[in-house]
Amino acid sequence: MFYFPVPDLQPPASESMSFPFIPTAFERTAKWMRRGGRESDIALSSRVRLARNLKRYEFPHHASPQELLTVRHKTFQALEFNQGTAGLNEIKLLPFEEFTGWERQSLIDRYLTSREHVGEELARGLAATPDASLSILINEEDHLRLQSLLPGLQLVPAFDLVDHVDDALESYFDAHGGLAYSQEFGYLTACPTNAGTGMRASVMLHLPALEISEKIERARKWAEGKGLTLRGTFGEGSKVWGHLHQLSNQVTLGLDEAEILMDVENAAQEICTMERQARAALPTRHSIETRDRIGRAYGALRYARRMGCREATECLSLMRLAHEINWAKGLNRQRFNELMVWIRPAYLQVMHGRAISGTERDTLRCELLGPHIAKIKLEAAFSVASGTRPRRVEAPEAKTENTSDDDSLHSKNEDE
């Protein structure tokens, strides 16, 4: 199977404490892909991110490379020192200089980091557990960004996870100048929009029914009224791929952490209810459109030999919807979560081991999807069209003069 690393590829020689090769650093199935949390039919994952900075050094945008290297070195030391703390015992340290562009890019595919972070390799790094439930971005926009990623809707456990790590690191850094904090502005961050709690809590929501029934704008405006944003996940600047939306808080200062978490969780719950209602109405209200879209998606996935990432993501999303409204069966939620990441270009590249072109990737994608899609069976409910059936159109009467038995395109009569 091609998605295990090619045997003759050697990991780079590095020091003892876990600077591993990225494909071996992470498990194929991350924690957030598995079962857990509430509302798993719509809420795919919950993430809490805390931004922290060291007081002694300038923020990454302004700091010199030496400063950034010192920050990363100190952070790695802090993590080694705290190995015994909850969640940190399995943590792996990944300095970016040791990895190729594709490997760094694959971290984005796993929902771990952002494009700005992997663009630069000097003095940047990532520390993460193999199941990706806990990770620390080093020298992205701030010195440290601690984040936890859990399945379903469970923001409070996600916060607890990251809270403990924050406490552990804070007590280490107290001896090295302390964290940047002020009475008035709370935890100080590079961007003032993150200051205060430094916390961004987000939930990834799968909202195909709201998109099909065109109610997504209403949901977005409702969220904005609550001080939250509803944006696309992949692709920066709110481009929506695969009907995946991310709901997160906008305000970080002036409210305490519990309040922010409660706001986001309640709003996510509400949007899940909206989506469920829309899904229930799909078979009747948007019968033809939904069936058309799902049918095309199924056909493409089943029979195509090459497919781009965007198209594959959309098709998988629709098959997922089909499963949720009982028009198809064969795969479970975990498999959909896994496939969503496994088809992404950098992930494919890294797992394959050697450099491949875009077309090769497209072919590989279909090869990867093949065996899984073969397990899908469309249910009877999908084929039955409800609602008004179009009137049968009478076929025109066949003219007897010019018909011939041979109905081919190439006419034998020259006079024709």
Partner 1 sequence: MFCESCNEHPATVFISQIIGNEVTQFRLCETCARQRAEANYQANHNESGAENSEASLEEVVFGLFEEIEHRSDFFSRHEEEDSDEGNGFSMNEVFMELQSHPFNDDEFPSDEELADDLDEMDDLDEDFDNLPPELAAALDAANDSADDVFNASLDEIIKSNPFGDTSERREIAARRCPKCSITWDRLRQDGRAGCAHCYETFADQLHEVMQRVQHAPQHHGKKPRAAEKRRNRLEHLRARRDHRLEMLNRRLDEAVRAEKYEEAAKLRDQIKMVSSTIIQEN
Smaller CB distance to partner 1: residue 159 or 347? 159
In Å, how far are 23, 125, 152 from 107, measured between CA atoms? Answer: 10, 11, 21
Footprint of partner 1 on 220-249 (CB under 8 A): 227
* Angle subtended at Cα 190 by Cα 97 and Cα 223, rounded to the nearest 5 degrees: 105
Q: Do residues 144 and 138 touch, judged by C-beta distance below 8 A?
A: yes
Among 75, 105, 252, 349, binds partner 1 (CB under 8 A): 252
Residue 97 found at the interface with partner 1 (CB under 8 A): no
Footprint of partner 1 on 30-69 (CB under 8 A): 53, 55, 57-59, 61-62
The burial class, CB within 10 Å (0-12 / 13-18 / 19+), for 275 is buried
Q: Closest separation between CB of residue 189 and partner 1, Å?
A: 8
Identify which range of 76-84, 193-201, 278-286, 337-345 contacts partner 1 by CB under 8 A. 193-201
User: Binding-site residue total for partner 1 (CB under 8 A)?
Assistant: 41
The edge-to-edge listing of strands for the beta sheet with 43-52 is 92-95, 125-128, 134-138, 144-151, 43-52, 199-206, 244-249, 228-232
Among 122, 191, 288, 374, binds partner 1 (CB under 8 A): 191
Smaller CB distance to partner 1: residue 259 or 292? 259
3-state DSSP: the chain helix, strand, coil percent, rounded to 5? 45, 15, 40
Cα–Cα distance for residue pair 174/182, rounded to 1 Å? 15
Residue 147 found at the interface with partner 1 (CB under 8 A): no
Smaller CB distance to partner 1: residue 250 or 273? 250
Bridge partners for 187 per DSSP: 181, 196
Identify which range of 127-135, 185-193, 360-368, 378-386 contacts partner 1 by CB under 8 A. 185-193
In Å, how far are 55, 94, 394 from 51, measured between CA atoms? Answer: 13, 19, 68
Q: Closest separation between CB of residue 193 and partner 1, Å?
A: 6
Among 77, 182, 238, 383, binds partner 1 (CB under 8 A): 182
Identify which range of 37-45, 132-140, 183-191, 305-313 contacts partner 1 by CB under 8 A. 183-191
Residues of this chain that bind partner 1 (CB under 8 A) = 53, 55, 57-59, 61-62, 141, 163, 166-167, 170-171, 174, 178-193, 195-197, 227, 251-257
